[in-house]
Structure 1
């Protein structure tokens, strides 16, 4: 998620003073976050793709898509931020990397919010309205098409806005995002409001409201769901969503400051929003794989037990060969 840069107005504190010590602390926090989260992402992607029963479960499809989107944000977007915080400019300084950085920071970051908010909505369907996905055609329209939309809507939108929208591109490598995205220079006001509300505020509120509603709905109908088949699956889906939702509470400071500024106080929190609250928005990306592991410790147990079985099989095979020889 990035600043809305404008030559006329510093909309989100992009030019607010950020002390060198603050930059250094954020740099090392990002280093720790990226280096610890990267192996978790790789492990989870491998687990979800190689285990057939996990890969084919409908409720895991949005999680798999989120893992890929968030991994790209973690490795590309945050790497650019770390270089910028450490050196004060983008390295390597090239127009292509500037545009890619803007695309990941906007299109993929907003795409992540859409995926998480859809996960909160879809779990209500998977648990309480299974008749909507009871046939292959229903699954196409209720499950697969919405998943494709929330996965590709914002990336494709920002491919157009960043690469093809008619606006002058002035690459300033010692400013965040190379002083872009450049479509903000002549974009209609209504489109800025649409982007801010529909791409950012609405998905956060949908995620929070629907995940809390799911939790209370599960509590109210717990006895009936225990009788139905798949209670463990329902519980797993709910716990998983709650853990993920908790990580997005870190976005609240940025949202609160934004709403207050929209309410007629344009200078409220500018010195905090740009240098500090902006980076807090990346905490959910770093914590997402850990939230998945905490919500389902069976992932680690099953992986370790599989490795033990493989080691035993290899040992038994080697022993049989030795005996036969």
Structure 2
């Protein structure tokens, strides 16, 4: 379900109960848990295989994949357990703002960061396949491969750290809703929320 963050306010009559899917929470809990555990194991296995084998580790095409797997692991180990906890207790436990901000940070940062890096991966694959001469020397690899990757990772984390922790707005937390009311306050800003 797509939500327009700009139009949400305290007077909206949309309630979480009216938008909740029809599967019982126990069924949702077990489905999510049964898929998350093997997914996490597979992520660790693929990371282990790439990082242990020098040939795979040094292949330029695998560097973004490792970062994407680490972002996915953050979602699997932080975001999904928070949602499972909410599904069991019908509220955010423990009910404090730091849990909500961490949940928002991992949920939004990991997903958006993954999308940004996936877009970069498409460009990088094009370079690897059609313009291999651009990464043929160490200096070229630094400028065409490593610097853009480092820049994107830093941009993603600096942007979201600023947005969640330093942006001058006040978050409203509702511990009876998943994600503590769905979205952080910076998304209501026309510039930051785009």
Alignment TM-score > 0.5, same fold: yes
Provide closer, same or farther for how the CA distance between residues 146 and 14 of structure 1 changes in structure 2, counting only shifts above 3 A: farther
Q: 1:80 aligns with which of 79, 82, 85?
A: 82
Structure 1: gaps spanning 5 or more residues: 195-325
**More helix, by proportion:** 1
Q: In the TM superposition, what is the alpha-carbon distance from 1:7 to its structure 2 partner?
A: 1.9
Runs of 4+ in 1 over 6 A off after TM superposition: none
Alpha-carbon separation, structure 2, partners of 1:13 and 1:133: 52
In the TM superposition, what whole-angstrom CA distance separates every residue of 1:227-267 from its partner, at most 9, and x where no partner exists?
xxxxxxxxxxxxxxxxxxxxxxxxxxxxxxxxxxxxxxxxx
**8 Å contact from structure 2 (residues 64, 117) kept in 1:** yes
Structure 2: gaps spanning 5 or more residues: none
Q: In the TM superposition, what is the alpha-carbon distance from 1:96 to its structure 2 partner?
A: 1.2
**8 Å contact from structure 1 (residues 4, 184) kept in 2:** no
Q: In the TM superposition, what is the alpha-carbon distance from 1:93 to its structure 2 partner?
A: 1.9
Provide closer, same or farther for how the CA distance between residues 17 and 130 of structure 1 changes in structure 2, counting only shifts above 3 A: closer
Q: TM-score, normalised by structure 1?
A: 0.53
Q: Tell me the C-alpha RMSD between the 2 structures.
A: 2.4
Q: In the TM superposition, what is the alpha-carbon distance from 1:147 to its structure 2 partner?
A: 1.2
Q: TM-score, normalised by structure 2?
A: 0.86
Provide closer, same or farther for how the CA distance between residues 139 and 13 of structure 1 changes in structure 2, counting only shifts above 3 A: farther
Q: In the TM superposition, what is the alpha-carbon distance from 1:131 to its structure 2 partner?
A: 1.3
* Aligned 1:1-325 pairs, distance under 5 A: 5=5, 6-8=8-10, 16-18=18-20, 21-179=23-181, 180-185=183-188, 187-188=189-190, 190-192=191-193, 194=194
Alpha-carbon separation, structure 2, partners of 1:9 and 1:62: 43
Q: What SS class does the counterpart of residue 91 from structure 1 fall into?
A: coil
Alpha-carbon separation, structure 1, partners of 2:155 and 2:192: 16
**8 Å contact from structure 2 (residues 74, 106) kept in 1:** yes
Q: In the TM superposition, what is the alpha-carbon distance from 1:89 to its structure 2 partner?
A: 1.0
Alpha-carbon separation, structure 1, partners of 2:76 and 2:4: 21
In the TM superposition, what whole-angstrom CA distance separates every residue of 1:154-206 from its partner, at most 9, and x where no partner exists?
23211111111111133221112212312234x12x543x3xxxxxxxxxxxx
Moved more, 135-144 or 176-185: 176-185
Alpha-carbon separation, structure 1, partners of 2:156 and 2:17: 26
Q: In the TM superposition, what is the alpha-carbon distance from 1:4 to its structure 2 partner?
A: 5.8
Larger radius of gyration: 1
